[in-house]
Amino acid sequence: MARQLDKRVKDLLIKHDINPRDACWDCHGAWVIYHRYCEIIAIKEGIVFDPPNIVEASAEKQTVVLCVTGRIGDFSAWSFGEAAPYNLKGAKGFPYAMAEKRAKDRVILKLAGIHGLVYSEEEADDFKAGGRQRSSLSKDVETVSDAKAVEMFDTKIKRELGNLYKKLLLLGLSQVARDGIWKKALASVGAEGKDGITPSNIEDFRSYIMKVVKKEEAIWKKAKEGAKN
C-alpha cells in the first residue's frame, strides 16, 4: 500500500486553497511537490528572502552553489541549492536559476514546517516526470572528499549529509579537523558509515554538526572582534 501524504502537508495546502492531488505526487515512496506550489506557499505564508550567498559559481563549467536564507517574522531558515552538468539535464544553460529554485524551495518547505514530509521537484532530477528509482548510497560518508561535498547527493539522506559537510567547509577548518568532526558525529549516533545514518538518527547527527558549527562561528566572531579592538 502506498504511503499516504502526511496530514500536516494536506492541511497546509488546503489552508491555501491548493488541491493536494494537483500539487503532490508519490515518487517511489517519497512525496514530491511541484515548484510552482512552493512559490504559492511562500506568498501565502509571507516568506521573504535575503540576497543569496554565492558559494561557488562558474558559467563556463555550468556549476553554481548558492546559500539562500528565508524569513517569516522572527523565524529564519537557510539551505544550499546546487546545480551542475550532472544534475541539470533538461535545464542545461540555466544553472543559476536551478540553484536558486532548489535552495528557495527547501527554505520554503522548512519555514512552512513540512520539509522531510514532502520534497520539492527541484531538489533532485530523479523526481522529474514521475522520477526514476533513486540510486543507493555509493560512498562511505566518513571518506567523502571535498570535491564530493559540494555535489547534489542522489538520495534524501545523502543530500542532507552533503549540506552538513558544506557547513564544515565554510568554517575554513583543515581537512584533518573536518574529518575528525565528521567521524565523531558518526560515532555520536552509533554510525560506522553510510548505512548507519538513517531517518531515525539524522536529526541527532545534524544536531551534533550544528553545535560544532555554532561553536566555531562563535570562536571566529570573538577573534574577529578582538582584532578590531
Q: What is the pLDDT of residue 170?
A: 80
Residue 109 DSSP class: H
Q: Give the highest mean pLDDT range of 49-53, 151-155, 216-220.
A: 49-53
Residue 48 belongs to a domain: yes
pLDDT at 43: 94
The answer to whether the beta carbons of residues 118 and 109 sit under 8 Å apart is yes
Count Cβ atoms below 10 Å from residue 96 Cβ, excluding itself.
16
Specify the pLDDT at position 69.
95
Residue 37 resides in a domain: yes
All cell numbers assigned to 9: 502537508
DSSP bridge pairs for 68:
79
CA atoms within 13 Å, Cβ hemisphere of 25: 11
C-alpha–C-alpha distance, residues 144 and 161, integer Å: 10
**Nearest to 35, CA basis, from 20, 23, 22:** 23
Q: Which residue has the higher pLDDT, 201 or 32?
A: 32
Together in a domain, 167 and 121: no
pLDDT over 70 at 194, yes or no: no
Does residue 107 form part of some domain? yes
We report the CATH number of the domain holding residue 106 as: 3.30.390
Residue 77 clears pLDDT 80, i.e. is over it: yes
The domain boundary residue, chosen from 107, 129, 151: 129
Q: What residue type is assigned to position 106 of the chain?
A: R
Task: Read off the pLDDT of each residue in 194-214 and give the average, rounded to a whole number.
Answer: 79
More confident residue, 112 or 134: 112
pLDDT average, residue stretch 58-72: 89
Q: Which of 60, 95, 129 is the last residue of a domain?
A: 129
pLDDT (0 to 100) of residue 92: 64
In whole angstroms, what is the distance from residue 157 CA to residue 141 CA? Answer: 11
Query: Are residue 55 and residue 162 in the same domain, yes or no?
Result: no
Q: What percent of the chain is modeled with pLDDT above 90?
A: 28
Residue 2 domain-assigned (yes or no): no
The answer to whether the beta carbons of residues 6 and 117 sit under 8 Å apart is yes
CA distances from 28 to 25, 136, 184, 198 (A): 10, 13, 33, 17
Torsion, Cα 140 146 152 153, to 10 degrees, reads 0
Domain span at residue 187?
Answer: 139-229
Question: Stretch 109-121: mean pLDDT, rounded?
Answer: 91
The more confident residue out of 211 and 162 is: 211
Give how many domains the chain has, as a whole number: 2
- Whether residues 39 and 148 fall in one domain: no
Strongest mean pLDDT among 92-96, 142-146, 198-202? 92-96
- Highest-confidence range of 55-69, 86-100, 120-134, 214-228, by mean pLDDT? 55-69
pLDDT at 15 over 80: yes
106 with 171, same domain? no
Q: Residue 187 — very low, low, confident or very high, per pLDDT cuts 50/70/90?
A: confident
Q: Are residues 115 and 19 in the same domain?
A: yes
End-of-domain residue from the set 100, 129, 158: 129
Residue 135 has pLDDT above 50, yes or no: no
The answer to the question of residue 134 being in a domain is: no
